[in-house]
Structures are given as C-alpha cells and as structure tokens.
A and B are shown apart, each in its own frame.
Chain A
Amino acid sequence: VLLGIFFNVHSAVLIEDVPFTEEDFKDGPERIYGLYEQVSYNCFIAAGLYALLGGFSLCQSRLNKRKEYMVR
C-alpha cells in the first residue's frame, strides 16, 4: 500500500523502478507520470491480494481453533 502511494505521488527516488524506454522521454513528463501511475495501480492490486490472503488465513485459523474445541 505504501509503495502504491509513493508511486502515485511520482516520487523521484523511485525513478529507477519505473520501467521506461527511450521514447517515453519525449513530449514532456506526462508519459513518465502515466507509467508511475500504472506501477502504483499494480502495487495497490498486490496489496489488495495480500489483504485477501491475510483475511482468508485468519478465517481458516479461527475455524481450526473452534474445531479443536469441539473435538474435546
């Protein structure tokens, strides 16, 4: 999530992480900003997937705990 925010803000420190090619440098920085934003969306997607995974594993662990109680 944090990485997504930083990419969205067009942080200059992360310039080397944005996959650009030679032709992206023409016509001003808008293309670069667009690339930044795409990478930030990817980051948000990954964060969302992680949240899903985390929630899923939490549910599973709680269910297993209850099952143990019932067996006893």
Chain B
Amino acid sequence: SFVAGVIHPWRVSAFERLLWRACRGYLVASFVEMPEPMEDPATGETITWVIFLISYWGEQIGQKIRKISDCFHCHVYPYPESEASRADTMNGLHSQIQDLSVVLEETEQYLAQVLDKVVLALPTWRVQVQKMKAIYLVLNQCSFDVTEKCLIAEVWCPVRDLTQVQDALRQGSYKSGSSVECFVQRIPTSESPPTLIRTNKFTAGFQSIVDAYGVASYQEVNPAPYAIITFPFIFAIMFGDVGHGLLMFLFALWMVLYENSPSLRQASNEIWQTFFEGRYLILLMGAFSIYTGFIYNECFSKATVIFPSAWSVATMANHSSWSSAYLATHPSLTLDPNVTGVFQGPYPFGIDPIWSLATNHLNFLNSFKMKMSVVLGIVHMGFGVLLGVFNHLHFQQRHRLVLEFLPEMVFLLALFGYLVFLIFYKWIKFSAANSRLAPSILIHFIDMFLFTSNAGNLPLYRGQVPVQTVLVVLALASVPVLLLGTPLYLCCRRRAPRTGHHGPVATGDEEPLLEGQEAGNSVNATKEDVESGGHSPDAQHVDFAEIFMHQAIHTIEYCLGCVSNTASYLRLWALSLAHAQLSEVLWTMVMRNGFVRLSYAGGVVLVPVFAAFAVLTVAILLVMEGLSAFLHALRLHWVEFQNKFYVGAGYKLCPFAFAPDVGE
C-alpha cells in the first residue's frame, strides 16, 4: 500500500527521521523535489514542495504513517494500487488542470476588460468627487437655521456683480425645482471688506508683483497700472543693451504667441512656471531694454553707428599737426572740442559711438548716469507723493492735503527738486568754451546745507546764495508742519463737538436750577458734567498720543527717507555700469580670441568660440543680470516708491472656484 503526499521542504528531514523511528524500517520512502515552485494555498508563499511516496506493509503502520503526516501538515493524496487506475487518475488530473487553467485565463481577461473601462472613466470620477467635496466644504461654512430649515451664508460680494448673483440664485432654485426661492440681502458690517482688483492676462503679472509686497487696502489707490510702465523702464535702465534686450524680447514673444499650447501650460518645472506667468512682464522689459540700449548705444557691448559720429579726428589731427614723434611719445590723445570742426554738435539719438573707442569712456558715462539716476529717482518719488493725493481725496481727508501733502512736496522739491534744477541748469548754461570754470554742483549742494560758501567755486547764477537760504529755511519749516499739523487738527476736531454737547446740557440744567430745584439738580448736573468731561480727556489723550506717535514716525521716515532713497536710486547707475562692463569683458576675453587667427582655420576656430560666447551671454548676462536688475527694480518700487503713499494692509477676495481644488 502506498501513501503519497506533498510536504514542506523544511520539514523533510524531521519527517524522515520520525517515520524511521516510528515504523522501524517497515516502509520505503522516497522524496522528490517538485520541478517548479507552487503557491501554498494557506499562506500564499511560493515554495518548492517535496513530493513523497511511502510504501508500507501492514494496516497499523499505515495508520501511524497517516497520523504522522497529519501532524506535519502534509497534503496527502489518494494513490491507487493498480497501474491502470493510476493512469486513469493521471489523465483525470491532467484534464482538470487544463480546465482550471482555461477558467483562470478567461477570468483574467474579463478582469482586464473591466479595469480598462474603469480607467477611461476614472479621471472624471475623481473630478466629480473633488467637486462634491469642495461644495460640501463651502456648505459646511454656512449656518443652519433650524426653525426655518434653511442655510444662511454671509458672503462678500462686489456691488457690481450683485444682479448677477441674484440671477444665478434664481436659476439655481428653478433648476432644482424647489418651491422656496433663494435670495440675497445686503447687511451692514463694521469689518473691512476684502480687496478685489479685476485684471486680465496682461495686467495680472504686474498686479501680482505689487500684491507680493502687500495687497492694497480697501479702495486705496493701486500702483499697478503705473508699474506697467515704470517697472520695465527702471529695469531697462539697469539692463540697457540692444542685443540682450532683443534676445529677451524674442524669448518672451515666443512664450506669448504659444501661450495656449498645452505643453507650455502644464509644465511641472516651477522655475519655468514662474517665467511663463511673467511672460508679458518679460516682453515689456525686453522692449524697453532695446530702447535704452539704443540710448546707451550698446549692442553686445559694441556701439552701433547709425548716424555719423559728431567728433572728427581728422580735423583734430590737422589742427594740432600730430607728428609721428608726438604720437610715439603720447599714448593717449585728447580731442579738444574747443577747436572748430572737431565737435559738430550732439549725436541725434543716444551716446556718440566714438566714446566706445575712448579710454575715458567711463568718466563720461559715470557722470551722465549718476545725474540721470538722481533725476529719475526724484521724479519717481515725487510721483509717489502725488499718488498719495488720490488717497487723501478718496477717503475724505482733505486736511491731509494741506497738512501732509503740501509739506512733503515742499520738502522734496525745495531740496532735491532744486538739485535737479541745478543739474539741468549746469548742462544748459556751460558749454565746452567755459567748461574749465564750471562749478561743482556737489560742493554747492553741501555749502547750501552748511550755510557756507567756497571761494574757489563760482556761483552758477546771480543771487544763488539767498535763493538757497530761502529754500533750506522753507524745507526746515515744513518739517514741524508735517510733524504736528495732522495731530493738532484731529485733536481740535474732536474737542469741538464735545464743547458743543456741554453747551445744551449746561443750559438745560440751568433752568431747573433757576426754578429752584437746586441741590439735587445741581448735583446731577455737575455729576453728568464730571462724567462726560471725565470721559473725553481720557479718550482724547489716548487717541492723541497714538496719532502723534504715528505722525512722528511718518515724519522721520519721510525726511530721512528722502535723503537715503535719493541715494538709493544711484543703484540704477551702478547696475548699468556693471552690465556694460560685464558684457565688454565677455567680448574681449571670449569673442576676441576667435578673431586672432587670420588663416581660414580661424573660421573653424570661431565656431566653438562663438558657442562659448553665446552660452555665457545667456547664462551670465541674460539670466543672472536680468534677475539682478529685476530684483533691484522691484526693490526700488516696493521701498522707495510705495512707502510714499501705499499702506497695503488689505486682504484679497478669494471667490469659490473649482480650479485650485481640482488640482489637489
């Protein structure tokens, strides 16, 4: 008789030993490992089972063997005695295996089909679930009125859209078929409303850089429309180069023209997303850079000679009769504009291209750019103070017009507006003929504050000293007006209605006094007086201290800020100088090496040299300098321009929208 079964491979040796000890050799056992691993139905692991076949004699031994194999958790299978039945069982088992495998295959195919169908529908299901979740989130925020079985929600809504909201509510209740209509009512509130500024895709970029500093307070003047022009312009002053500006402009143009292509919109790279959002910003910045590049006359650090240069070297050479000996001993020669014919008038647009060949190029440019930065800075700041007027008018604070705007403007213009005037006056009045006698504006300006004068520095115009004294006195006088004006005015305004109240109370109570109800009434009257009088000085004191401190801070910030911010605008000069020098260095150190070889092999050498030049231009000059100039222009806007008028303490209106929720 036989026992056949399958056993776990780890238990084989123990099984064998136990069998031998128990049955004392009255059996023959053979163990064969299975050819391939199969899955254990109980635990799910794939194990290479060991098949065993035990042949034994005797009934009791058979029972012992079966018990032992039970203990070892073997799977025992019936093993028929005769050969024919064994073959039958084999065939039966084979056909069973085939049937089962067919069934398995068909089930898997069916499963795959079902899953494919689900995959098509899965994104829509996900979106639906998220939308429902978002709607329920909002509904949870409404308050539930149990008595009338309705939901009440308090919302902020722009006044212009009120009719639209009512229409939508009406449509909603009609579509859902309910008998009761939803309606909307305006309720008064003391909270400050959120700010909503409607933008289109062009202005959204500029509004976002203003909002990054602070969202505008409710109904405050919005600097974004002015920033559309001033920000790219200030950027361009620091970036001025025709070639680089053109590259930037083309890059932004490509982004703008293809802005609807899905591959550009759905990029996962965050840095790319930032650039893409600001594509209109970059477009304007590039365009303005081309303009300032023409003014600085720089195209990849080389000047363009669109109009013929106004300086003539030939006339200078002929006049001074430069001989070879003279040329050999003097490495640098000056073109004297006082000689007729050397200087034929200013260049029509921008800086003369001859300056790029001159060794004192930087001396000339530095003076020009410094003055330009200061002039632009004062114009920008003055514009900022002017924008504050809109705020004062809108919030019905006309007293601030006289008590704040006027002293601020007087201070700014008397000191720094006068500086601008001096700059322009000196440019106009002094020509090449008397340039040696031209006074220094800087020394005049310092003397103006110190009330001294320098003998060696000639006055710019007659009566300069008294004019300057008057201006300084005016500016100094405007400081206490700025400091004390608004607090005193507010203080007086608060006292006036209180004294008005006291009047009727006193007369009212005087009559009973006169009629003879003396003691009680007079006591009452004085008590009331004392009470109301007691309140007002206290409340007044608290308010006055706060207002006064606030105004003092504002005054100090403004006056000191005027000086430091004017100097801060000199970064326009510094950054444009850095950009020009960087591009020049790149040209001389990289590109020039490509021109050295004169043979035709030089053309081949030029290919990698130009490649290196292009890569470095994009990496250093466009990206690094671009980001740097962007940052500094942003800083100038945020700090120097906006702290003249902007409060920026508001919060944004975030209407319910499906888009951001769906992304989660």
Binding site for B on A (CB under 8 A): 11-19, 35, 38-39, 41-46, 49-50, 53
Contact = CB atoms under 8 A, between A and B. Distances in A.
A13 B304 CA distance: 8
A49 B305 contact: no
27 contacts: A13-B303, A13-B304, A13-B305, A13-B353, A13-B356, A14-B302, A15-B357, A16-B592, A17-B591, A17-B592, A17-B595, A35-B598, A39-B602, A41-B600, A42-B594, A42-B597, A42-B602, A42-B606, A43-B603, A44-B603, A45-B600, A45-B603, A46-B604, A46-B606, A49-B607, A50-B610, A53-B607
Contacts of A49: 603-604, 607
B302 A46 contact: no
Contacts, number: 58
Contacts of A35: 598
Nearest to A38: B598
Q: Is the interface of B mostly helix, strand, loop or mixed?
A: helix
A49 B597 CA distance: 17
A45 to B, nearest CB: 3
Interface residues of B, number: 22
Contacts of A39: 595, 598, 602
Interface of B: 302-305, 353, 356-357, 588, 591-592, 594-598, 600, 602-604, 606-607, 610
Nearest to A48: B603
Contact of B595 (A11, A12, A18, A50): A18
A42 B303 contact: no
B281 to A, nearest CB: 28
A10 to B, nearest CB: 11
B598 A45 contact: no
A15 B313 CA distance: 15
Given A17-B592, A42-B598, A42-B602, 5 more contacts: A13-B356, A18-B595, A39-B595, A46-B606, A53-B607
Q: Is the interface of A mostly helix, strand, loop or mixed?
A: helix
A46 B595 contact: no
B302 A42 contact: no
Contacts of B356: 13
A43 B606 contact: yes
A39 B592 CA distance: 11
A43 B591 CA distance: 11
A12 B305 contact: yes
A13 B597 CA distance: 20
Nearest to B596: A19
A50 B607 CA distance: 7
Given A13-B305, A13-B357, A46 B610 contact: yes
Nearest to B609: A46
Nearest to A19: B596
Contact of B604 (A13, A19, A44, A45): A45
A39 B610 CA distance: 14
Contacts of A45: 600, 602-604, 606
A16 B584 CA distance: 12
Closest 7 CB pairs of A and B: A45-B603, A46-B606, A42-B603, A42-B602, A38-B598, A46-B607, A49-B607
B595 A42 contact: yes
Contacts of B600: 41-42, 45
Contacts of B610: 46, 50
A44 B602 CA distance: 11
Contacts of B588: 16
A59 to B, nearest CB: 19
Nearest to A39: B595
Contacts of A14: 302
A11 B603 contact: no
Contacts of A18: 595
A13 B610 CA distance: 19
B302 A13 contact: yes
Contacts of B353: 13
Contacts of B598: 19, 35, 38-39, 42
Nearest to B297: A13
Contact of A19 (B304, B595, B603, B606): B595
A35 B357 CA distance: 19
